[in-house]
Structure 1
């Protein structure tokens, strides 16, 4: 059986830049679609040459706004991945989409191109909140986008942002109840965070933007867990909820520290015990592909201990936790090199972790303290 691989494709372009977004997204007046299709395929072929004999279990088109990609480009990338590696019979092919009408009109063609899962960036169903978040779609467009997606794709997810300035518990419970009513098998529910370099960061620094404090955010989080569990979509990662079997297989590859190839501007990868990163700026990426046949900016070896640490930091985000024996086998290290057993025992006594043989996981009570738990239990040096 060939070793599996996840494939990430980054489309860097957006119609506008949202004030909370720190992703690698760019606004351009025009995009040379033929040049971009050729560049993405060349970049993919470079990875394929380094990773022969793999089977691709998931492809994820992220961004940016991948729903702005011509469906023909999506189809060409999928065809190239199929020719280069071969896709698993149940390969999950996800594309992130905005709810704008012009992009929703392409859903049928995207499905025909091979996309079988879509993640819709709804963020809110409230017009005032959408304006605050800088979103270019309306509440009606958001609702229609989900309905149309459910017509064309076997699996649909959408995102909401909560813990916004002034948001009450009752208002969020109403909004989440509305969202659960669509019956999708997956929801991504993110608390608003203020990221450095964003417009929201500048507003917060001037005291013009205040998000809920820790206690209020914790109450919102707890309500979220109770409601999603009751609806049959329990949390399987800090911010991601799914019906059993509807978890994002692609993101599970990341969190379980599987190998993945990253293609396109700013894309990161983990393969062959190396960390890879592409040039972020679209023009620099295209120039690199033209010059070198690939868009790589960084390709660095990851020492065994760093790989083990990354696997711990990623895996403990999951409700299932980490398999310590698997990390030992993959990195060639004993667990004492990357786990503070004393801290794990102490945290377990406090009800914040569970240690069960090779399995170590953070409890529901501990998940709100995840950052401090990670700093205690994961040996980073």
Structure 2
């Protein structure tokens, strides 16, 4: 089972966002749409995913109808904040390509009907290599998808089996080729540190990922989360926990091979293929994932789907975790026309609303379970923690005066680039990327 959601505080059941609590929202807006269905639940996965459906509005055949309701809710509740047109839509999971291409197309049409969409918006769909074919990729492209992110994980069969992946190594270059042929950007995700994976295995996976020349490659260290199947296997002694030194060596190999192949790191776990004239290290890279940049650079985003998190200005909230509870909440919107609902009153009592006069609300209900109001200290910590992970780094001037004196020490330790610091930017070295959590603590405590 995936981890429990935070407790938080009661959230208005009509989804009202009080401008006084939101504070100053970002002008940039992204949408995340969670599709919780999988054919097999991988042993390492702690995401909110299910191998079965749960009836009308919460199964694969009708899921898009519930998504449409939350799309309309999001558009209505975000209208007062005057965001710029949506720049990123990301369908993640789970396995979004278990939905029919026509359903994905309908979801995207619902977004276009309710939101202004930037003409250059990035529209990404995650896919397992064995859940999509050439015809399906062509249908996605016609529906408005611009980018597909394939869950490759490894090119070594015994590693894929340990991870409970259902595809074969041979399927990955095929789907990347098909995606490129229909005009889609292609990204592949890799995982390193799987128990039993040798350095040679990892090198094989890297070379296989590079060979079809995808536009983007992500490399994530395996983290075995409590409550997963793999966690139980470790506790029984069937598998060993990943070795941090082994993972560090594999990260260094990834960075070297990807750089040689013409990829530039722009965030600790992500590399984009350089186009002619692009400068390595820039977060303006043509093939950098805009969805990821939305998180690292503090955009506002609305997460649609069971368990999805949203963030607007100084407020954050999360949806009911179970697909049935999420769909049922969205189906209960007819009673919420006008002023506050009873659920909203509970939110007000918890400090989630101000004395501002309520505005008229469309007859829609929110599937939110709970939320939080972020303090200024929370925002500062998150800004450092996220921005420090990027190749752009973070301005020294944005750090508190109490920690700026630690920058020279971190340079001496080989964790921060001296030349960048001379230009007023804290930027991680390769060694610093491996110790990013330590650097974050040094610059925030």
Normalised to the residue count of structure 2, the TM-score between the two structures is: 0.78
Asked if 1:246 corresponds to 2:287, the answer is: yes
What is the 5 A alignment of 1:186-335? 186-244=216-274, 245-292=286-333, 293-323=365-395, 335=399
Q: Give CA-to-partner distance per residue, 1:295-340, whole Å, 9 cap, x none.
A: 2112322122212211211111112212466xx6xxxxxx428x72
Q: Deviations over 1:191-248 (max 9, x none)?
A: 2221111111111122221245232222211111111111111221121111232110
Distance 1:34 1:185, change over 3 A: closer
Determine helix, strand or coil for the equivalent of 1:89.
strand
Quote the Cα distance in structure 2 between the aligned partners of 1:24 and 1:324.
38
Question: How far apart are the structure 2 equivalents of 1:84 and 1:272?
Answer: 21
CA contact (8 A) 1:166 1:211 kept: no
Aligned residues of 2:97 and 2:131 also touching (Cα < 8 A): no
Looking at structure 2, the residues matched to 356 and 47 of structure 1 have their Cα atoms a distance apart, in angstroms, of 43
Query: Mind listing any 5+ residue stretches in structure 1 that lack a counterpart?
Result: 329-334
Following the alignment from structure 2 to structure 1, what is the Cα–Cα distance between the partners of residues 390 and 63?
Answer: 35
The answer (yes or no) to whether the contact 2:134–2:175 under 8 Å persists in 1 is yes
Please state if 1:14 is matched with 2:38.
yes
Q: Is the 8 A contact 1:14 1:26 kept in 2?
A: yes
Which residue in the other structure is 1:48 paired with?
A: 75
Q: Residue 62 of structure 1 aligns to a residue in which SS?
A: strand
How far the C-alpha of 1:356 sits from its partner, in A, is 4.7
What are the Cα deviations for residues 265-303 of structure 1, in whole angstroms up to 9, with x where unaligned? 111111132112111111111111112422211232212
Pick closer, same or farther for the CA change 1:198–1:356 going to 2, 3 Å: farther
Structure with a larger share of its residues in helix:
1
Judge conservation of contact 1:165–1:209 (CA < 8 Å) in 2: yes
Does the residue aligned with 1:234 lie in a helix, a strand or coil?
Answer: strand
Q: Tell me the equivalent position of 2:439.
A: 373
- Residue aligned with 1:362, SS: coil
- Whether contact under 8 Å (2:46, 2:225) holds in the other structure is yes
Q: Distance in 1 between matches of 2:431 and 2:137?
A: 40
In structure 2, the residue corresponding to 1:275 is in which secondary structure? strand
Shift, 1:121, TM fit: 0.7
Sort the Cα spacing of 1:358 and 1:284 in 2 relative to 1 into closer, same or farther, 3 A.
farther
Deviation of residue 359 (structure 1)?
Answer: 2.8
Contact 1:25 1:63 in 2 (8 A): yes
Greater relative contact order structure (CA < 8 Å, 6+ sep): 2
In the alignment, the residues of structure 1 paired with residue 210 and residue 410 of structure 2 have an alpha-carbon distance, to the nearest angstrom, of 33
1:71 CA drift (Å): 2.0
CA distance in 2, matches of 1:153, 1:205: 46
Decide which moves more: 344-353 or 61-70.
Answer: 344-353
Kept in 1: contact 2:223–2:242 (CA 8 A): no
RMSD: 2.1
Distance 1:98 1:364, change over 3 A: same
Q: Structure 1 residues 253, 70: closer, same or farther in 2, change over 3 A?
A: same
Q: Give the number of the structure whose alpha-carbon radius of gyration is greater.
A: 2
CA–CA distance in structure 1, aligned partners of residues 380 and 103 of structure 2? 36
- Alignment of 1:3 onto 2:27: yes
1:349 to 412, 424, 433: 412
Distance 1:110 1:47, change over 3 A: same
CA distance in 2, matches of 1:267, 1:118: 20
Partners of 1:47 and 1:29 lie apart in 2 by: 24
1:138 and 2:210 are equivalent in the alignment = no
Residues 101, 145 of structure 1: 8 Å contact kept:
no
Which structure 2 residues correspond to residues 118-137 of structure 1 after superposition, within 5 A? 118-137=148-167
How many residue pairs match? The answer is 369
Q: 2:52 aligns with which of 17, 28, 34?
A: 28
Q: Distance in 2 between matches of 1:344 and 1:106?
A: 50
Q: Tell me whether 77-86 or 217-226 shows the greater mean CA deviation.
A: 77-86
Q: CA deviation at 1:151?
A: 1.8
TM-score, normalised to structure 1's length? 0.90
Q: Does 1:75 align with 2:105?
A: yes
Q: For 1:54-65, what aligned pairs fall within 5 Å after superposition?
A: 54=83, 55-65=85-95
Which runs of 5 or more structure 2 residues have no equivalent in the other structure? 1-25, 275-285, 334-364
